[in-house]
Structure 1
Amino acid sequence: MNRKLVIGDIHGGLKALKQVLERADVTQNDTLIFLGDYVDGWSESPEVLDFLIVLNQQQKCHFIRGNHDDLLLNYLKTNTYKEEWFLHGGRSTVEGYEAIDSTTKQIHVNFLEALEPYYLDDKNRLFIHAGFTNLKGIEFEFFKPLFYWDRTLWEMALALDENIPFNSDLYPSRLKLYKEIYIGHTPTTKINQTIPINKACVWNIDTGAAFTGPLTILDVDSKEFWQSESLVDLYTNENGRN
């Protein structure tokens, strides 16, 4: 098999990542697209990055930048952080790095600096952590951090009246640009779902692994997906971002 597989937000859950890759029977022939937010939440954020760095040497991977990854990069480079980060899973990450040596930290900095802002494949399918706001698309986005902070793309897709024809002037321009858009960032648990959700051309693959949901991997061609156990069951003595 030569599948193209997209993986949702991991948030320090190495156990879930290993489990979902095994359940999807991932091989070195598969291309893996990670949508970002590898850290913050569960206790194994440094170990997740170690795992991904090795995985990248074994098969073709695309690693998209998430907002939490950017927060970690700033911390590793400056040794400073804003207290608000701790309200969003940063505490477990800082604690996890207390036992990490400086050489490994620099390897992680190199990995985080090399993260892709997005990936656009040869079928005009966009993979991005959060979204974009420019009506002409990603190449015209003025403020690039919106790629990993925006929530308006998903909110628009959720709120779109399904009765509006695609060719109508009322149909949102951003939803006409790409065949499909795969995002994470805003967990589907916010709408009481723990599976990937498709609205218009947008597929949300963040199924709440940071909180009470599972981690998800999806075949972008067949739309078959596999999930880990809920992370609260895999990390029974931890709270994640709950």
Structure 2
Amino acid sequence: MNRTLVIGDIHGGLRAIFQIFEKANVTTEDTLIFLGDYVDGWSESPEVIDFLIQLKETHRCVFLRGNHDDLLLSWLEEKKDNPQWFNHGGKITMEKYSLLSDEEKQPHIDFLKLLENYHLDDQNRLFIHAGFTNLNGVEYEYFPKMFYWERTLWENALSLDPKIEKDSPFYPKRFTLYKEIFIGHTPVTRVGETTPMNRANVWNMDTGAAFRGPLTILSVDTKKFWQSDPLPELYPEENGRN
């Protein structure tokens, strides 16, 4: 069975990846689409990147760029302190990477540089970390950082009145461009949920693994999903950090 599976924000939770792969019975026949934010939060960010580098040798993978991944790359390349990143999960990541040699860091830098800003499949399904702002679509986006920073796409989806028809002039044009849009970036735990949320044609896969929620993997075609245990249960020695 050839499945397309999409994975939400990992945030350094390697143990959660192992759990969801086992639960979903991931095989080399599956296509795996990762929505970004592989690092920051829990303590195994370098180990997550190592795992993903190895995974692409055996599986069909799409790796998208998250804002945390971009912040890590900037720090690794420029060696500049970033208080915003440091206070939002970067501290533990910085500590772990400081234990690595330059030779050990280089494959990670190469991996981060090759991350994609978005992925559009042959069924017109868009996979992107955060969103986009251009009303004509991702190919016309003036501000590429929006792909992994913006939140208005999800905010609009959450607030959209379901009574508004798609052909109405009041229906957001961004939602008409693609069959489905799969995002991460903004945890659904902000609205009290811990499972993937669907509003309009947008699926939010960030189920709060950076904090107290689980990591999720979902079949794009069937919408069946599998989840890890909440991350604090997988990292009890780190409780209180997030």
What TM-score range do you get, normalising by the shorter chain? over 0.9
CA distance in 2, matches of 1:82, 1:206: 24
Aligned residues: 242
Q: If the length of structure 2 is used for normalisation, what is the TM-score?
A: 0.99
Secondary structure, aligned partner of 1:144: coil
In structure 2, the residue matched to 1:235 is 235
Mapped contact 1:89–1:241 kept (Cα < 8 A): no
Q: Which residue of 2 aligns with 1:215?
A: 215
Q: Equivalent residues in 2 for 1:78-227 (5 A)?
A: 78-227=78-227
Instruction: After superposition, give the CA deviation of every residue in 1:175-199 in whole Å (9 maximum; x if it has no partner).
Output: 1000000000000000000000000
**Alignment correspondent of 2:31:** 31
**Equivalent residue number for residue 14 of structure 1:** 14
What letter corresponds to residue 119 of structure 1 in structure 2? H
Equivalent pair of 1:63/1:116 in contact (CA under 8 Å): yes
Which residue in 2 is equivalent to 1:48? 48
Cα RMSD after superposing both structures: 0.9
Give distance in 2, aligned partners of 1:132 and 1:91.
Answer: 28
Query: Which amino acid counterpart does residue 177 of structure 2 have in structure 1?
Result: L
Pair 1:59 & 2:69 matched: no
After superposition, the C-alpha distances for 1:51-107 in whole angstroms (9 at most, x for unaligned) are 000000001000000000000000110111211212210001001112112112111
| Unaligned 5+ runs, structure 2 | none
1:180-231, CA deviations, whole angstroms, 9 ceiling, x for partnerless residues?
Answer: 0000000000000000000000000000000000000000000000000000
Stretch deviating more after TM superposition (155-164 or 230-239): 230-239
* Cα distance in 1 for residues equivalent to 2:240 and 2:62: 25
Structure 1 contact 210–240 (Cα < 8 Å) conserved = no
Q: Percent identity?
A: 63
Q: Could you tell me whether the CA contact under 8 Å between 1:16 and 1:234 is conserved in 2?
A: yes
- Secondary structure of the 1:89 match is helix
- CA separation of 1:152 and 1:63: change in aligned 2, threshold 3 A: same
> Within 1, Cα distance between the matches of 2:140 and 2:160?
23
With the length of structure 1 as denominator, give the TM-score of the two structures.
Answer: 0.99
**Structure 1 CA distance for aligned equivalents of residues 127 and 35 of structure 2:** 7
Alpha-carbon distance change, 198 to 63 in structure 1, aligned in 2, over 3 angstroms: same
Shift of 1:133: 0.3
